[in-house]
């Protein structure tokens, strides 16, 4: 998985009681980008990592894309780190 984050990262939580899993993940414009998304079926929630300039912009853009978040919090990408990802691309064995 190649994950490159150059701006601020936010964890976006969206409740998903109908089980659609956010079937239509949002197309986000400009400075806001969907990095990754997972569904936790047991919790009926979709968690998305979204890169954007600030939480208010992420909330506004996702709401406009008909993907209203229930919670948005600043996030820190722990793995893969950009350094590990670039070394793996170069063929270095990582433990």
pLDDT digits (tens, 9 = 90+) for 4-57: 777 899 999 999 877 665 556 778 888 899 999 999 999 999 999 999 999 999
Q: Considering only CA atoms, which of 67, 63, 57 is closest in space to residue 37?
A: 67
- Tokens matching residue 34: 């969907």
Domain boundary assignment for the chain: 8-89
- Tokens matching residue 24: 């239509």
Q: Considering only CA atoms, which of 69, 80, 82 is closest in space to residue 34?
A: 69
In this prediction the pTM is 0.76
Tell me the fold of 8-89. Answer: Alpha-Beta Plaits (3.30.70)
pLDDT at 61 over 90: yes
SS3 state of residue 83? helix
Q: Bridge partners of 72?
A: 12
């Amino acid at each position: 998985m190649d994950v490159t984050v150059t701006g601020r990262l936010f964890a976006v939580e969206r409740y998903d009681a109908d089980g659609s899993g956010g079937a239509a993940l949002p197309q986000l414009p400009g400075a806001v980008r969907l990095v990754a998304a997972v569904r936790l079926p047991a919790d009926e929630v979709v968690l998305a990592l979204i890169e954007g300039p600030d939480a208010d912009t992420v909330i506004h853009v996702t709401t406009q894309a008909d993907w209203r978040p229930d919670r948005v919090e600043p996030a820190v990408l722990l793995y893969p780190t950009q350094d590990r990802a670039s070394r793996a691309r170069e063929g270095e064995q990582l433990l």
